Structure 1
């Protein structure tokens, strides 16, 4: 990649704001904004709740739109909990696909610093696994989004610095920030991401130490969304789920090829196993435990 200096304020970006509660169906949206009603989070009772509010591609000068939409969300009673995140997409179009290997190297060098600067909640790390050297090697051998996605556990294909987003919408997605509906915290996170990507695109040598990196980029060291600890019942659920995954995975693989288990949940009539294939299709199965081990008893209808 040839260094290309780009004013960070001239980079298009998008924000995905996860929340629980409120009344997402009735929020009046600004032009271009969307409410992803199929992106439900888990509220404090374990029920699916809230949604994900998404900006269109905007510029730094348009950031007041975010303030206005946050006010509208607050008015409906929306809030965030441990299950919510804040995802920032930054356009990579000034550099193009040929720059992806350099951004992979930058992710390998700086992802820990970004995670530490954002103080990513321990309970959210499963949704932002790290870029690996194996991904870099796969991409060099066969460029494409498949090389940049995780498979199997952890239960997210998308890395904390998600370069596979280039193939979806010509962006890089930074997923490490905790959830927030506070405008100041959102904007500080956006500014960091814009400055960080602009610096990588210009091939600036950034320190790996979070404090030094923040100083070099000219961004605050604090004021980003704070981590919210998950309740014990949720952590216990995840521990149990992680123990069950290796047991039911062979059965799932015989049902859906190239799939991963998204959720395992107890139900009065058995164990609900939610599976996603490589095309993003969701399948739901009911499992029972018998003397011969776990068995799939029937496929469940979509919600």
Structure 2
């Protein structure tokens, strides 16, 4: 397995910018940029809102495109709230597939330091669970994407340092940063991720302390997106969902083969349950909870 010294500025990257509000369907996009209108976020009222903005593959010299698109989002009234994240994909082209085990080991060593440096909000940890030693052991025997996917609800499949992205688009995805539409915060986050990936690709040993890690990499030690606490109603919703998921999981398995519960929401006529199948399709059911057991009142697929 080769250790190749690479200038972090030469690495290709992308950044997923989640936001709420605004009018994403009317934002003029730079060439190659994509507005994923089906990727909605939860705004402060509980409604689905905003979108996710994605660039074409960029290099450090292209970063002014990010500033331009952030300015356009802000001009259309978009903001980042507690539900939004900032996910940076960095290409592994200089090292190839043989480097994936090295990055898994690095995730085990440094993921807590990366999470602490980027100040991941407690309310977003479900979207970026840790890489585990069990995943590493499975990958050694299987060498497959499934070995690197976190088991559980669909929103928790991708780890904070997500090596499963290698099998999709040839990248490692770092998901720990909180959402932001601030130019400097987004660019600092990208710079840290590029420097970190380049160092792991080279096989460097890094400190486990967050600020020492940043200093060793030559990355900013502060100035990343600050955590925003979720409102009480959202936390209560998640507490209730977490309590109901084990109760409804057997029913979900009967309704959808290999299905996992994405979310549970109260609705005027019952309880709405969304179940994601193995292909990522969403199946929605309206349930009635009579005393004799759960009754399926309505089913639809989206």
**TM-score range relative to shorter protein:** over 0.9
For structure 1, the residue ranges without an aligned partner over 5 or more in a row are none
* 1:83 correspondence with 2:83: yes
2:243 is paired with a residue whose SS is: helix
Residue 136 (structure 1) shift:
0.5
Using structure 2 for the length normalisation, give the TM-score: 0.98
Aligned twin of 2:193:
193
* 1:205 correspondence with 2:174: no
Whole-angstrom distance in 2 between the partners of 1:110 and 1:62: 28
1:291 is paired with a residue whose SS is: coil
Aligned twin of 1:113:
113
1:220 is paired with a residue whose SS is: coil
Whole-angstrom distance in 2 between the partners of 1:126 and 1:158: 10
Aligned twin of 1:17:
17
Aligned twin of 1:276:
276
Using structure 1 for the length normalisation, give the TM-score: 0.98
Q: Give the ranges of 4+ consecutive aligned residues of structure 1 lying more than 4 Å apart after TM superposition.
A: none
Moved more, 271-280 or 115-124: 271-280
**Matched-pair contact (CA < 8 Å) for 1:15–1:54:** yes
CA RMSD of aligned residues (A): 1.0
Whole-angstrom distance in 2 between the partners of 1:152 and 1:287: 22
For structure 2, the residue ranges without an aligned partner over 5 or more in a row are none
Whole-angstrom distance in 2 between the partners of 1:280 and 1:150: 15
Equivalences for 1:78-227 in 2 at 5 Å? 78-153=78-153, 155-227=155-227
Over 3 Å counting, the alpha-carbon distance change for 1:264 and 1:275 in structure 2 is: same
Residue 156 (structure 1) shift:
2.0
Over 3 Å counting, the alpha-carbon distance change for 1:154 and 1:208 in structure 2 is: farther
Q: Deviations over 1:96-129 (max 9, x none)?
A: 1111111000000000000000000000000001
Whole-angstrom distance in 1 between the partners of 2:301 and 2:148: 31
* 1:297 correspondence with 2:297: yes
Whole-angstrom distance in 2 between the partners of 1:32 and 1:154: 28
Whole-angstrom distance in 2 between the partners of 1:50 and 1:5: 40
Whole-angstrom distance in 2 between the partners of 1:155 and 1:70: 25
Aligned twin of 1:45:
45
Residue 289 (structure 1) shift:
0.3
